[in-house]
Amino acid sequence: MSYILIHHTGCGTSRKGLALLQENGVEPEVRKYMNATSQLSEDELRDIARKMGGVSPRAFLRDKDAVKFDLSETASDDEVFAAMADNPKLIQRPIGIKGDKAVLGRPHEKLLDLL
């Protein structure tokens, strides 16, 4: 079963997470979601939330960027998913996905929980 890493090369925690996986013998499929050709769709974001245990998208929302993009604190989950799909900077990273499980790599050591 492959390990997928939702990764942003410009993020130190994401880079540390990738390095940690590689140090532990995992060569994940890296999804550079900030690239226009690799952005996450609303359906993919919903699937990630489901794999995290049915959490709200706010569980992996970058709060400080939500303010920058005028995403209201009272926005519905549907609105948050739509905003994340339109503005990938709103997505917290890294996120590890393996099978039917996903985990936010904050701290990056949490990525090892899927091994």
The CATH number of whichever domain residue 40 belongs to comes to 3.40.30.10
Instruction: Please check the confidence at residue 1 and state whether its pLDDT lies above 90.
Output: no
What pLDDT sits at residue 69? 87
User: Does residue 102 have an active-site annotation?
Assistant: no
pTM score, two decimals?
0.95
Instruction: Please check the confidence at residue 7 and state whether its pLDDT lies above 90.
Output: yes
Instruction: Say how many domains are in the chain.
Output: 1
Instruction: Write down the catalytic residue from 11, 75, 82, 112.
Output: 11
d(CA 18, CA 85): 23
- Give the side-chain half-sphere CA count within 13 A for 43: 0
For residue 58, the enclosing domain spans: 3-114
Over residues 97-115, the pLDDT tens digits come to 999 999 999 999 999 999 9
**DSSP three-state, residue 40:** coil
Over residues 61-83, the pLDDT tens digits come to 999 899 888 899 999 999 999 99
